[in-house]
């Protein structure tokens, strides 16, 4: 894995304007992310985390600055920056297989034959252990399974960067832990660059190489970046009493709850 700046946020600022009123959501966001890194962005609700992710995805245009992926400016959405949405966003009228195939057939229509595409769909369903439900519709499977399919669909686009928008937010604690392990495993196997939005401190520290902590809005910016120097694979049980882990966790908690309390708590 090379260590050149792979993804670069250069002075990103974002304001939303409605009529005469303008709200500055993000200001002066600067960050470089190396290829293969797992980066979490954490902050209180309303700090603009999701806006930042949408900017990287190309779904929201920047007001100032730019996102550079391999020195090229990102200004529209594309499959090389696949998104796993918070609420899975599977198309309910398609089966699990068809949801993934919609992505695969679009992205690889020119480069893979029909049977290669089928194999690739099955390979990705295999990766998230969802082959058994490939002919089910999203309404017939559990929330955790839907999110797995969402991840499979994103991975199947063979993205340079996988963007995860609070991917485990809507899940119960046990399902969430299983899915976190799945994502860590996939990250180990494929070495994707991943950016995850979260508001869960444990999740951020457990999964990430770096935790990016955002200050509160309006005009939120990056307050601190914490390197989590834990070797992989990480096992949650072994980490409970690990010094590096508990220190990292304490540092994030300290940032979020002592220095940058949520506005409602501070008031």
Partner 1 sequence: MSLPLLSGDAPAPAAPRSPAAVIPLRSGKPMSQVLRSKALTIAGAVVPPLIVVILLLLVWELAFSRPGASLPTPIQVWRDAKDLIIDPFFINGSQDIGLGWRVLTSLQRVAFGFGLAAVVGVLVGAIIGQSVWAMRGLDPVFQVLRTVPPLAWLPISLAAFRDSSPSAIFVIFITSIWPIIINTAVGVRNIPQDYRNIAAVLRLNSLEFFWRIMVPSAAPYIFTGLRIGIGLSWLAIVAAEMLTGGVGIGFFIWDAWNSSRLSDIIVALVYIGVVGFLLDRLVAAIGSFVTRGVSAT
Separation between Cα atoms, residue 256 and residue 51, nearest integer Å:
19
Scanning the structure block, which residue is given the tokens 């679009």?
A: 106
Q: Please tell me the total number of residues recorded for the chain in this structure.
A: 267
Q: Does 132 bind partner 1 (CB under 8 A)?
A: yes
Query: Scanning the structure block, which residue is given the tokens 């304001």?
Result: 15
Asked whether position 151 contacts partner 1 by CB under 8 A, the answer is no
Measured CA to CA, the distance from residue 176 to residue 238 in angstroms comes to: 18
The least CB distance from residue 129 to partner 1, in Å, is 6
Interaction of residue 168 with partner 1, rule CB under 8 A: no
- CA dist 114 and 105 (Å) reads 9
Please report how the helices 114-127 and 96-107 are oriented relative to each other, as an axis angle in degrees rounded to 10. 130
Residue 185 interacts with partner 1 (CB under 8 A)?
Answer: yes
Segment lying near partner 1 (by CB under 8 A), choices 3-11, 122-130, 191-199, 250-258: 122-130
Among 15, 50, 64, 89, the residue binding partner 1 under the rule CB under 8 A is 89
The phi, psi pair for 263, rounded to 5°, reads -50, -40
Report in angstroms how near the CB of residue 91 gets to partner 1 at its nearest. 7
Instruction: Kindly indicate which of the ranges 178-186, 195-203, 209-217, 244-252 contains the residues binding partner 1, using the contact rule CB under 8 A.
Output: 178-186
For position 149 contacting partner 1 by CB under 8 A, the verdict is no
Q: Which of 112, 178, 199, 210 binds partner 1 (CB under 8 A)?
A: 178
Closest alpha carbon to 252 in 223, 220, 213: 213
Q: How far is the CB of 231 from partner 1 (least distance, A)?
A: 18
Report the chain's C-alpha Rg in angstroms. 19
CB of 166 to partner 1, least distance (A): 13
Q: Which of 148, 187, 234, 260 binds partner 1 (CB under 8 A)?
A: 148
The per-residue DSSP string of 227-242 comes to: E----SS--HHHHTT-
CB 220 within 8 A of CB 43: yes
Tell me how far, at minimum, the Cβ of 37 lies from partner 1, in Å.
21
Q: Residue 88 Cβ, how far from partner 1 at the closest point, in Å?
A: 9
The one among 5, 36, 78, 218 contacting partner 1 by CB under 8 A: 78
Please tell me whether residue 224 binds partner 1 under the rule CB under 8 A.
Answer: no
Give the C-alpha separation, 209 to 228, whole Å: 5
Contacts of 145 (CB under 8 A, 6+ apart): 130, 133
Residues that bind partner 1 (CB under 8 A): 57-59, 76-79, 81-83, 85, 87, 89, 91-93, 102-103, 106-107, 126-127, 129, 132-133, 137-139, 141-142, 144-145, 148, 157, 175, 178-179, 181-182, 185
């Amino acid at each position: 894995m090379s260590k050149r700046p792979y993804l670069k946020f250069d002075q990103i600022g974002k304001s939303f304007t409605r009529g005469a009123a303008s709200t500055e959501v993000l200001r002066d966001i600067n960050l470089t992310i190396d290829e293969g890194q797992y980066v979490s962005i954490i902050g209180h609700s309303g700090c603009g985390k999701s806006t930042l992710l949408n900017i990287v995805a190309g779904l929201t245009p920047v007001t100032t600055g730019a996102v550079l992926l391999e020195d090229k400016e990102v200004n529209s959405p594309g499959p090389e920056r696949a998104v796993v949405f918070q609420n899975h966003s599977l198309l309910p009228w398609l089966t699990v297989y068809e949801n993934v195939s919609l992505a695969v057939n679009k992205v690889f229509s020119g480069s893979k034959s029909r049977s290669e595409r089928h194999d690739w769909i099955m390979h990705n369903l295999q990766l998230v252990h969802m082959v058994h439900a490939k002919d089910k519709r999203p309404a017939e499977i559990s929330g955790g399974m839907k999110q797995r399919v969402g991840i499979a669909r994103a991975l199947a686009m063979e993205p340079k960067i996988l963007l995860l928008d609070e991917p485990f937010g809507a899940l119960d604690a046990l399902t969430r832990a299983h899915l976190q392990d799945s994502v860590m495993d996939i990250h180990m196997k494929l070495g994707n660059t991943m950016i995850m939005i979260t508001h869960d401190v444990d999740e951020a520290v457990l999964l990430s190489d770096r935790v990016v902590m955002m200050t509160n809005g309006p005009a939120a910016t990056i307050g601190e970046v914490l390197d989590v120097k834990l070797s992989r694979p990480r096992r949650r049980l072994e980490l409970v009493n690990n010094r590096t882990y508990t220190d990292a966790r304490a540092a994030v908690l300290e940032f979020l709850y002592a220095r940058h309390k949520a506005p409602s708590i501070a008031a």
